[in-house]
Amino acid sequence: MIAVAFPDREMQVLPYNRAVKDLAGQTIDQFLSHVSRVCVVRPGRSVPSAAGHVSLFDGAAWHDLELPPMAPGAAATDALDVSRLQHAVLGPILGIGDPRSDPRIEFVGGARGTADLEARVRSGASAVAFSMHPVSVADLMTVSDAGEIMPPKSTWFEPKLRDGLLSHLL
């Protein structure tokens, strides 16, 4: 087991972005129409403006999606942007039920940046990409204090800790 200890104010959490291979039979206009029924959609930029917002790249432009709020009393993990995107868009509109096992979704570590998301969509490897706002350290602690487990692919830490097995032969 690898363990490291450092003050929470020195921890940096990067987003874990998403790229979706297809739109479940929809055109991009149909998809955006469905999204606009559950999210406020505005012209945007590649990096979300704040928590509660996700940037969507459709191959032509970036859009800012203001995610719908979760119901009062929801679990701590349900308040995270990755969960809110899953509940509002990925599941009901794109049919991605379990992001852990659905081959239609890929996760892109935040260190790779939004240029990687744009390249995936422009190449045709993905139909759309979502640039996420990073989970805050306070959110991580809230989930931990509630005894919950973070959703899959919700955090990307940099720099990565080195691990491995070393042996020295004499």
Domain definitions of the chain by residue range: 11-157
pTM (2 decimals)?
0.87
Residue 135 burial (CB < 10 Å; 0-12/13-18/19+)? buried
Tokens at residue 148, please? 């919950």
Greatest Cα pair distance, the chain, in angstroms, is 68
The architecture that CATH gives domain 11-157 is 2-Layer Sandwich (3.30)
- pLDDT tens-digit series, residues 4-59: 776 777 777 888 899 999 999 999 999 999 999 999 999 999 999 899 999 999 99
Give residue 154's pLDDT. Answer: 82
